[in-house]
Structure formats: C-alpha cells, structure tokens
C-alpha cells in the first residue's frame, strides 16, 4: 500500500538487503554453534567455524618412519619409504587420505620450499621426495639415514569434513560422566508435569473469572495481573524453607510445584482473556438447556479454548525447559543425580571452557527440542504473545 504513490524501486532493494543483513546477523551466532558441533577438536582449534564450509589449508609437521627400523638397502643407498599420514596414524595403509599436499619442506625456515613430487637435495647425496598424497621417499648413506625420522613440514589442503562423533560422545557414550543423556531425561521429567498441571488448574480458575458472577471478581483479576510481574527471585528462600519444613526437600515434586505456582498467573491471564472473548450465546443456550457450569466448562469452554491452551502450553514448556534458576534452587541437590541440561552446560562452561566441540554439542542438544517445538507451533506462540501483551 506504500506503493500507491509509485514507490522507488531503489528503496525496495534497500529493504530487501537490510532484511537479509538483519536475518544473517541474527542467525549467524546460532549457526556458529551448530556448525561447530559437527567439527572435530582439531578443526575447531585450527580455524573459525565459518571456514568449515571451505577446504582448509593447514601447516603441519610430520616425521618419517625411523630409519633404524624401516630403512632398506637398495643399490648401495639406504631408502626409507612410506606415507606421512600413515606414519602419523592419520590414515590407513592404503594411503587414502583426504588432505592434498600443496607444498612441503624439511626446514622450519622454509616450510614451503618444494612442490609435491619434487625431489629435495639435502646435501651430500641425501634426497627426499614427497608426493601430493603424502607418500615419501628418503634416500641417503648409512650415516645420513640414522637416528630419528626426518622432519617434514607440510602445507596441505583438506576438504570440508563433518563428523557425528561429538554427538556420539555427548549423548551415547556411557563412560562419559559429563554426558547429556541423563540431564536430557531429567529435563524432560521436570518439564512435562510442570507444563500439564498448571493448565488444568488455570483453566478452571480462568473460567470462573471470565464467566461466573461473584463479588470480588474484578479484584481477583487485578491480583492476577499484579502477580504476573512479581519476580520469582523473591520466592526462592521462603519456599525452599517451606519445602524443607513439610518434608518435600529438594526434588522433582518441589520443582513441579514451584513451576506450577510461577506459571499460573500467565496461564490464568491468557486463558481468561481468551475465554471472555467466546460468544455469550453459546454459553447462555447451554445454560437454558440445563447444563451445569461444570458441564459447560468441560464440554464447551475447554474445546473452544484449545488455541489459548496450546499457546500457554508452549510458553510453559519453553520456560520450564530453558529454566536454570528454579531447577538449581528447588531440584538439584549435592548428589547431582537430578541435574538438568541448563545446569550441566553451566558446569561444562566452567570445567571445559575451551573444549568447544563438547560445549557446542551439549548446548545444541538442549536447544534442539525447543527449536523444534518453536518452528512446529509458532502460530500458537505468536497468538499467545499477542493475547498476553497487547491488551
């Protein structure tokens, strides 16, 4: 509609480009984590993740096999033959390596002195040849080919390579004490009851606040709106003390109750706003036909409120899944058996700060489920947001 006065096409292009830039800026950090979780430790250390999509050129140092063991005499000269990658344990004996040698040298001062296939003269008849696939031939006299293997500096290009090993380690390795498998199930155990129970309680309350006449109703609605913004930080110590006093202590029951309590204001508010908007005639017809409030609620209101129920369910799910504070205070005891994923990641940030393959993979494991829920149920999430704030 901006177009009716004949919008300039230059401006349209500017809009397209700025949106593209904005979107790129917004997904770039997440993309970094995702890509990093599929790279090996060496790759992560040697280059930024944005380089992962292109062939990587790396400088490496190899050593040939030890002459003492592997040299053979041939026509009066001694020869050591083999493949640099095989000697380094980076490839099988068939010489099938992914990297391609671009240049090599035998001195740290000239690491790219020779091209693959070229024969280097190391003085007094000692020679060395390195092929593009890492095969080498080293020849010389008895004296020259002794002691340790010759150092070879190699500049090689390896194609992009991705691996599932990190996920294997983080999720399925039973020996990995820092694995995410247990934390994943713990998170799930926290989340599902903490999502379902408040919905039911809130739905009844919301119906009463929306469609039943009684004194003090407006006051209660105002109270719910007020509690909507009360910081849950205030509740930590009083409720932990209470839980300890009544014998719940730290554990799943405590965290379920806490999440239920903290989630209720939003649940009641969202559901009430939605239910108030339902057509009055339906409810009045049902009443005339002799339906009780309970029947109206179960048979009419609940099915009609499905969109609102779904939006709150998504909110509560995301919130409980992503929560750190409530879990730390009400759930995780000193044994650490009940740790959740967010807590596990914070712990990893402390102990494995530089091991990005573990960190990135663990973080992505915990992010993946909310992302799936988000993209699958985005419609309801947006609807819930709109009902929750623009009122």
Torsional class of 117: left (φ above 0), alpha (ψ -120 to 50), beta (otherwise): left
Beginning with the edge strand found earlier in the chain, give each strand of the sheet holding 119-123 in spatial order. 72-74, 77-83, 135-140, 126-130, 119-123
Q: Rule CB under 8 A: is residue 300 a binding residue for another protein?
A: no
Indicate which single residue of 253, 286, 304, 310 sits in contact with another protein (rule: CB under 8 A).
253
**Cβ distance to another protein smaller for residue 113 or 197:** 197
**Cβ distance to another protein smaller for residue 12 or 119:** 12
In the bound complex, what is the minimum distance in angstroms from residue 35's beta carbon to another protein?
10
| Both structure tokens of 234 | 């205030």
Indicate which single residue of 162, 164, 172, 185 sits in contact with another protein (rule: CB under 8 A).
185
**Cβ distance to another protein smaller for residue 114 or 380:** 380
Helices and strands (H and E) in the chain: how many = 16, 8
Residues in 198-217 at the binding interface with another protein, rule: CB under 8 A: 200-202, 204-205, 207-209, 212-214, 217
In the bound complex, what is the minimum distance in angstroms from residue 299's beta carbon to another protein?
13
In the bound complex, what is the minimum distance in angstroms from residue 149's beta carbon to another protein?
26
In the bound complex, what is the minimum distance in angstroms from residue 62's beta carbon to another protein?
19
Q: Rule CB under 8 A: is residue 378 a binding residue for another protein?
A: yes
161 touches 49 (CB < 8 A): no
Spell out the residues 6+ positions from residue 304 whose beta carbon is closer than 8 angstroms to its own: 278, 282
Classify burial at 294, counting beta carbons within 10 Å of its beta carbon; exposed 0-12, middle 13-18, buried 19 or more. exposed
Q: Rule CB under 8 A: is residue 231 a binding residue for another protein?
A: yes
End-to-end alpha carbon distance in the chain: 27
Q: Which part of the chain contacts another protein (CB under 8 A), choosing from 120-128, 136-144, 277-285, 316-324? A: 316-324
Within 10 angstroms of residue 388's Cβ, the number of other Cβ atoms is 17
Q: Rule CB under 8 A: is residue 303 a binding residue for another protein?
A: no
Q: Rule CB under 8 A: is residue 308 a binding residue for another protein?
A: no
């Amino acid at each position: 509609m901006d177009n009716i006065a004949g919008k300039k096409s230059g401006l349209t292009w500017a809009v397209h480009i700025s949106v593209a830039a904005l979107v790129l800026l917004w997904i770039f950090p997440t993309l970094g984590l995702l890509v990093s979780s599929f790279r090996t430790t060496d790759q992560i250390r040697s280059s930024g993740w944005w380089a992962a999509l292109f062939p990587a050129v790396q400088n490496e140092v190899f050593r040939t096999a030890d002459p003492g063991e592997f040299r053979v005499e041939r026509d009066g000269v001694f020869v050591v033959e083999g493949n640099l990658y095989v000697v380094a344990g980076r490839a099988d004996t068939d010489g099938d390596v992914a990297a391609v040698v671009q240049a090599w040298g035998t001195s740290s001062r000239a690491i790219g002195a020779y091209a693959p296939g070229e024969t280097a003269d190391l003085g007094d008849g000692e020679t060395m040849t390195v092929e593009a696939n890492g095969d080498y031939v080293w020849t010389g006299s008895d004296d020259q080919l002794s002691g340790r293997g010759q150092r070879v500096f190699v500049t090689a290009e390896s194609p992009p390579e991705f691996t599932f090993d990190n996920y294997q380690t983080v999720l399925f390795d039973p020996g990995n004490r820092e694995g995410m498998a247990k934390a994943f199930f713990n998170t799930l155990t926290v989340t599902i009851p903490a999502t379902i129970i408040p919905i039911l309680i809130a739905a009844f309350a919301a119906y009463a606040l929306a469609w039943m006449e009684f004194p003090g109703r407006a006051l209660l609605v105002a109270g719910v709106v007020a509690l909507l913004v009360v910081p849950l930080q205030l509740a930590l110590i009083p409720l932990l003390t209470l839980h300890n006093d009544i014998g719940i202590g730290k554990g799943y029951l405590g965290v379920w109750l806490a999440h239920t309590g903290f989630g209720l204001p939003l649940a009641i508010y969202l559901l009430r706003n939605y239910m108030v908007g339902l057509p009055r005639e339906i409810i009045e017809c049902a009443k005339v036909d002799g339906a009780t409030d309970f029947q109206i609620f179960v048979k009419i209101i609940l099915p009609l409120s499905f969109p609102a129920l779904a939006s709150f369910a998504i909110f509560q799910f995301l919130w409980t899944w992503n929560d750190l504070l409530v879990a730390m205070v009400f759930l995780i005891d000193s044994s650490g058996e009940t740790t959740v994923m967010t807590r596990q990641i914070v712990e990893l940030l402390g102990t494995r700060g530089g091991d990005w393959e573990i960190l990135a993979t663990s973080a992505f494991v915990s992010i993946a489920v909310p992302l799936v829920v988000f993209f699958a149920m985005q419609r309801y999430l947006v609807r819930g947001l709109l009902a929750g704030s623009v009122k």
